[in-house]
Structure 1
Amino acid sequence: MKQIISIILSIFLLVSSTGITYAQHYCGEFMMMEKLTFSEAQLSCGMAMVDDACGDENEEGHDCCADQYTTISTDDNFAHATYDFVLNDTFVAGFISVFVLEQVLSSKQELLQYSEYNPPPVLKNIQVLYETFLI
């Protein structure tokens, strides 16, 4: 359940930061067209070309068609993530000397092999003597 809520909130944050707009086109009182866009797009039903379709001819500039836009965006309180990356001089010098220049102290010692060594013989079986067994 927490994962689903996290995914939904992540998608909502992504959509709100990209600025998706829901555009609706009304002719009179009826919605004729709706569309999701990234900016305000001009929607048309084709009635703007007809002069007498709007009713009153006496009013100048009367337009019966209207577009309504609903934009999803973040508010002023939203702060984008900023990162301040400061390098320490000691860290940079150590990183360069160890990984870039490969000046790591390496001592080559001969491996001593004890292939001829035999352990001493067991005189007593200590586990049986003290009755301590690993289970």
Structure 2
Amino acid sequence: MKEVLRKIASISMALIVLFSTMSFSVDMHYCGEHLVDFSLFEEVDTCIMKTEVARSSTACNVMDKALEMHCCSDVEVVIEGQDDLKTSSNQLSLDQQVFVASFVYCYINLFEKFDENVVPFRDYSPPPLIRDVQILDQTFLI
């Protein structure tokens, strides 16, 4: 479960960095108040009205509502990504490097699993029983 959460967190952080640095533009072509063409990746196709009636935007504003339908416009929405990302390069002194290396080594060894249960006194026999201490001290387990 812990490994799955770690993978989800790393993928989500990678996607956050990707989408925060990505920039894109949306092109839209309007004829009057109607959206004629919409494009994410290419330039929009201009309509035939724009080639037939070449009017400037000031002329479109002056004309009445009937002629305003012939005025075409292109709208481009640009969403800029973040460009000032930098990697942090901190310089560590030799003492700090030694501390970090020893800390990581000790921390990793805390979670190291042993393959078998190590019994250090398995090859040694117990000392010979010269006298029974429990009987001498009259200490008995009930």
Instruction: Please give the TM-score of this superposition, normalised by the length of structure 2.
Output: 0.41
Specify which structure has the higher proportion of helix.
Answer: 2
Give the TM-score normalised by the residue count of structure 1: 0.42
